[in-house]
Amino acid sequence: MQITAGNHFTNINAFIGGYEHIHDIGIQRNVESVMQSHPNTNMNLLARTKYVHEKYPPEKNPMLYGAERTTKYLNIVRACSRAYIAAVDML
């Protein structure tokens, strides 16, 4: 699943209508990985890309974390984003 980076939302509705909606779809569809347009800020994308390049074909695709770990990651991102929103009083 490709997502945009960041957690600087203008208000809670922007988060719920955008990011949370995308997170929910990813979880419902059992995505196995999350990547974003800013490499190495999310699940160590640059290191995984380097590994694939040096050891192609890899025994196990390091770009795929599995649905369970990806769901855990998305829920952590969700919690951190909600904490940011609460901290800057945008509720």
Q: What is the DSSP string of 1-58?
A: -EE------SSHHHIIIIIIHHHHHHHHTT----EESSTTSSTTHHHHHHHHHHTSSP
pTM beyond 0.85, yes or no: no
Closest CA to 34 of 78, 5, 2, 6: 2
The per-residue pLDDT for 51 is 78
Give residue-wise pLDDT tens across range 47-63.
777 877 888 777 777 77
In the predicted model, what is the mean pLDDT of the chain?
A: 79
What's the confidence (pLDDT) of residue 38?
65
Residue 43 has pLDDT above 80, yes or no: no
Confidence bin at 34 (pLDDT 50/70/90): confident
